[in-house]
C-alpha cells in the first residue's frame, strides 16, 4: 500500500515527553491504529534538539510541554526559529489546557495542539485521527538527506550573512 509516496517504509514519529509511561501508552495507541510507524522517544527538549541535529528529521514530532531541562515551549521556539528544522510538523500533546499555553504554541508555529486524554480508548482515537490526517491526507515536507549538512548549512549562512565567509 502506498501512502504519501511511502511503500512499506515506516513513518518516523519523534515523541518528546519526560513520562516513560505516556511514551508506552502513545506507542501502544499508534500500534492499535495499524499505521506503519516507528516511534522514537526522547525525555526532554535538549535530547529532542540533539536527536534532530544528529539523526535527522522525523515525519512528525509529538511534543509535551512540561519537561525538565528544556520545556516544550522553549524547544518549539528553537525548532521553529531554525530554517532547516522549521518544516517539521509538530503536535503539542500535553496535559495543559491553559489558554495561554495553547495561544503561545500556535504563536510559535505548532501545527496542532492536543490535550492528552484521560483514557486509553480516547488515546487510540486521537492516534487514529493523527495517523489518518498526517500520514494519509497531507503531503509531508521533504527531509534533508544528510543530518550533518543541516548544521553546516546554517553555519555557512550565518558566516555569509556576517561577511565572515572567505570562500
According to DSSP, residue 60 is labeled: E
Give a yes or no: residue 167 inside a domain: no
The yes-or-no verdict on residue 49 having pLDDT over 60 is: yes
The yes-or-no verdict on residue 157 having pLDDT over 50 is: no
Residue 96 CA from chain centroid, whole number:
18
Give a yes or no: residue 93 inside a domain: yes
Kindly report the pTM of this predicted structure: 0.80
Give a yes or no: residue 60 inside a domain: yes
CATH of the domain at 41: 3.40.50.2300
The yes-or-no verdict on residue 165 having pLDDT over 50 is: no
H or E, element range at 42: strand 37-42
Domain that holds residue 71: 2-162
Taking residue 67's Cβ as centre, other Cβ atoms within 10 Å add up to 24
CB 40 within 8 A of CB 51: yes
CA distance 34 to 44: 27
H or E, element range at 152: helix 147-162
Give a yes or no: residue 37 inside a domain: yes
Number of domains within the chain:
1
Taking residue 48's Cβ as centre, other Cβ atoms within 10 Å add up to 27
pLDDT digits (tens, 9 = 90+) for 89-114: 999 999 988 999 999 999 999 999 99
Lookup: cell for 103: 495561544
Amino acid at each position: 500500500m502506498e501512502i504519501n509516496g511511502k511503500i512499506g517504509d515506516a513513518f518516523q514519529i519523534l515523541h518528546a515527553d519526560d513520562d516513560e509511561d505516556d511514551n508506552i501508552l502513545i506507542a501502544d495507541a499508534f500500534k492499535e491504529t495499524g499505521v506503519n510507524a516507528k516511534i522514537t522517544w526522547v525525555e526532554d527538549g535538549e535530547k529532542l534538539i540533539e536527536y534532530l541535529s544528529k539523526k535527522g528529521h522525523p515525519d512528525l514530532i509529538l511534543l509535551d510541554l512540561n519537561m525538565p531541562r528544556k520545556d516544550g515551549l522553549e524547544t518549539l521556539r528553537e525548532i521553529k526559529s531554525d530554517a532547516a528544522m522549521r518544516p517539521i510538523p509538530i503536535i503539542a500533546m500535553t496535559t495543559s489546557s491553559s489558554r495561554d499555553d495553547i495561544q503561545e504554541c500556535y504563536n510559535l508555529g505548532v501545527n496542532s495542539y492536543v490535550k492528552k486524554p484521560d483514557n486509553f480508548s480516547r488515546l487510540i482515537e486521537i492516534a487514529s485521527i493523527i495517523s489518518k490526517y498526517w500520514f494519509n491526507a497531507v503531503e509531508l515536507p521533504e527531509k534533508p538527506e544528510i543530518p550533518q549538512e543541516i548544521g553546516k548549512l546554517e553555519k555557512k549562512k550565518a558566516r555569509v550573512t556576517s561577511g565572515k565567509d572567505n570562500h
